[in-house]
Amino acid sequence: MRGLLRRIKATLPFSFKWNSLLVVMASATTIIAVVAVLMITYTMNNRFNDSIDRTTEQNNTQIVDNVSDSIDSYLKEMISVSNTISKLLIDYDLNKVFNIYHFVLRDDIDTIAVFDSQGELVMKTDSRLLKENVGIKHQHWFRSIAPGSRMYVFTEPHVQRLYKGEYRWVISLSKGVEWTDGDNKHQGVMLVDLNFNNIKELCSKELGEKGYLYIIDTNGKLIYHPRQQMIYAGIEDKTIPIACALEDGSEIFIQDDGRMLISVKTLKNANWRIVGVSPLNGLLTYDEELRNFILLIVIGVVFLIILLSIIVSFFITSPMHRLMRLMGRVEADNFNTFSTARGFYEVKELSFSFNQMVYKIKRLMEQILKEQQLLRKTEMKALQAQINPHFLYNTLDSIMWMAESGDQKNVVKMISALAQFFRLSLSGGYDTISVIDELKHVENYLVIQKMRYNDQFDYEITYDEAVIKCRTLKILLQPIVENAIIHGVANLPYKGIITINAGIYQDKLRFVVSDNGFGINPRILKDILEEKPSTRSGIGVYNVNQRIQLMYGTEYGLHFDSQPDEGTTVSIILPLHT
């Protein structure tokens, strides 16, 4: 693992760029994998949610059906009791009916009482005392049924206030009854109060973690709700209007609190509807530990995907980074670099092509170098050949003129200077000579030219001791001095002066040739080194500059400074070599 980290770290300077292949591949594979994981998670979550929805719907429907069946059975039993008493009232007198039911009253029946059409008590099954001035005829349960009609009605839960000191929460069953007293036939209303706690217990079954059951009638009036006190306080249950509009069955609705499953079933023995409500939050309905576990799995998978993407991308791109480093060495002119990269087929092919390319470049560079060296020597010899002939012709012409005039002393002096001049020009066939030899060479030239021009000018040669052993291209000063003589001092009405100095300036070898001649026309001076002149002296200056730049580069060469009627200064800049 440490070796892998070191290898990754070694490639970071080349690969950690936002548009690098490593980053692009790692990002692309990570994005694809993460998207795939999220899609799978989303799909599985939907499948789980659908499964949970179906399971919840089945459970809710079963619970609602069981509760409705239980309440239906309970109400059916109450109806059966009222029917039995009603029949007994027809077949027997009141006392006998009272004796039958007085001691066998069920716990879930709070009371059974019979009132005549005027609201007067005829019979009741317990010994509790009725309140005075109750106003039976004004009770809702009494007014909801016609006396003697033999029909029955269930009223919503209410507090029964018939008995002194008791306020029980009941559901009343009202039934029209008839009975006979001797020859007289009477009509009235039977009251059967059912203990509401039994129904409350039946509706207390839980529907999931936050589900609940309640009862409404067919008109939407609330019969029972586990949050009845909150509803009385004004906090509405938004599912009640929805349940009123539903047929029996189950439907899913979206509310502010999320998705809700509402199951509805209508009772057979009463105009009541049992409603079951359960929130549908999918996997979120499970405990927090499971949610956190799933979240940790998703995060872990994402991080694992990112890590694997980086590792795989690294192994794919690392051979290419090695090739990039090798290419950098080739750019630094290290042509002994060859690739031994291993990896995929494409990488091996690239490595082979890289080696072939480096080999061919190396061969071409060697060939070009040889050709350049040969070309440079040829050009320099050609330039040098242009300098010597015309000077030789002029000097020989002067010697011939002096010989004809009988000036043997000056003929000997000029021939000696000419011999020294050409000996230094040849210099054993080398292209470079010492600075001191170059200065001697130009001094011989000045001796010859001063004799030719009848002492029209004087000259002075100075140098720094530090440059004596430095080396320079040969025959640099002679063309510059020739140009100074011909165009500077040869035709002056007074005696000209040419000075030559050799020294070191800014870590470079510098020759300075100055004259006090006519100077150079600014228009000619501007382009003096840009194109090859037509005059012979101009050719010499141009050739000197070309020789220097061919040998050392364009940062070296000649620099002119000339003022009309004041003179010209030429600086020759060369690298400092010993």
The model's pLDDT over 413-466, given as tens digits with 9 standing for 90+, comes to 778 877 777 776 665 556 788 999 889 888 988 888 888 888 899 999 999 999
The mean pLDDT value for 315-334 works out to 71
Residue 497 has what pLDDT?
A: 94
The helix (H) or strand (E) run that includes residue 312 is helix 288-331
Collapsing DSSP to helix, strand or coil, 1 comes out as: coil
Beta bridge partners of residue 473, listed in sequence order: 432
Is the confidence at residue 15, as pLDDT, over 50? Answer: no
Please say if the pLDDT value at position 379 is more than 70. no
pLDDT at residue 536 greater than cutoff 70: no
Structural domains of the chain ordered from first start: 92-198 (3.30.450.20), 369-575 (3.30.565.10)
Residue-wise DSSP of 23-36: HHHHHHHHHHHHHH
pLDDT band for 382, please (50, 70, 90 cuts): low
CA-nearest of 226, 228, 243, 152 to 190 is 152
For residue 378, the SS3 value is: helix
Nearest to 484 by CA among 444, 456, 515: 515
Please tell me the least confidently modeled range out of 63-72, 283-292, 332-341: 283-292
| Low-confidence winner among 136-140, 196-200, 243-247, 480-484 (lowest mean pLDDT) | 196-200
Residues 174-212 have pLDDT tens digits of: 989 888 877 788 899 989 888 888 788 878 777 767 788
DSSP class of residue 268 equals S
The structure tokens listed for 533 are: 């002149």
470 pLDDT higher than 70: yes
Quick one: pLDDT band at residue 373, thresholds 50, 70, 90?
low
Provide the pLDDT for residue 572. Answer: 95
In order of 181, 341, 416, 418, the CA distances from 399 in angstroms are 184, 74, 11, 10
SS3 state of residue 160: strand
Distance of CA 306 to the CA centre of its chain: 13
- The pLDDT of residue 14 is above 50: no
Query: For residue 373, how far is the Cα from the chain centroid?
Result: 54
pLDDT on residue 558: 93
pLDDT classification of 569: cutoffs 50, 70, 90:
very high
Tokens for 398?
Answer: 């002067």
Both tokens assigned to 504: 């070191």
pLDDT value at residue 575: 93
**Contact, 541 vs 483, CB < 8 A?**
yes
Long-range contacts, stretch 101-104, CB < 8 angstroms, 24+ apart: 101/125, 102/126
Calculate the average pLDDT of the chain: 79
Integer Cα distance of 231 and 222 in angstroms: 10
> What percent of the chain clears pLDDT 90, i.e. is strictly above it?
11
Phi-psi region of 407 (alpha: psi -120 to 50; beta: other; left: phi over 0): beta
- Name which of 11-25, 248-262, 482-496 the model is least confident about: 11-25
Q: Percent of the chain at pLDDT above 70? A: 81
List, in sequence order, every beta strand (DSSP E) within 220-371.
222-224, 249-255, 258-266, 272-280
* Residues 176 and 114: beta-carbon distance below 8 Å: no
CB of 157 within 8 A of CB of 170?
A: yes
Question: Where does the pLDDT of residue 341 fall: very low under 50, low under 70, confident under 90, or very high at 90 and above?
Answer: low
Predicted local distance difference test score (pLDDT) of residue 376: 63
Residue 40 pLDDT level (bands cut at 50, 70, 90): confident
Q: For the chain, how are helix, strand and coil distributed in percent, rounded to 5?
A: 55, 20, 25
pLDDT greater than 50 at residue 11 = no
- Identify whether the C-beta of residue 228 lies closer than 8 Å to the C-beta of residue 114: no
CB 14 within 8 A of CB 321: yes
Name the phi and psi angles at 139, rounded to 5. Answer: -70, 145
Phi/psi at 275 (nearest 5 deg)?
-120, 130
What is the mean predicted confidence (pLDDT) over 258-264? 85
Q: What is the predicted pLDDT for the residue at 12?
A: 47
User: Is pLDDT at 498 greater than 90 in this prediction?
Assistant: yes
For 78-101, what is the mean pLDDT?
Answer: 74
- 326 contact partners, CB below 8 Å, separation of at least 6: 337, 338, 339, 354
Q: How far is CA 44 from the centre of its chain?
A: 27
Closest to 339 measured CA to CA, from 331, 350, 314? 350
pLDDT tier for residue 362 given thresholds of 50, 70 and 90: confident
Which residue in the block uniquely carries the two structure tokens 């001796």? 447
Distance CA 220, CA 217 (A): 5
Reported confidence tier of residue 24, pLDDT bands at 50, 70, 90: confident
CA-closest candidate to residue 451, choices 425, 423, 485, 488: 485
Residue whose C-alpha is closest to residue 263's, from 221, 219, 212, 205: 212
Q: Would you place residue 94 in the very low, low, confident or very high pLDDT band (cuts 50, 70, 90)? A: low
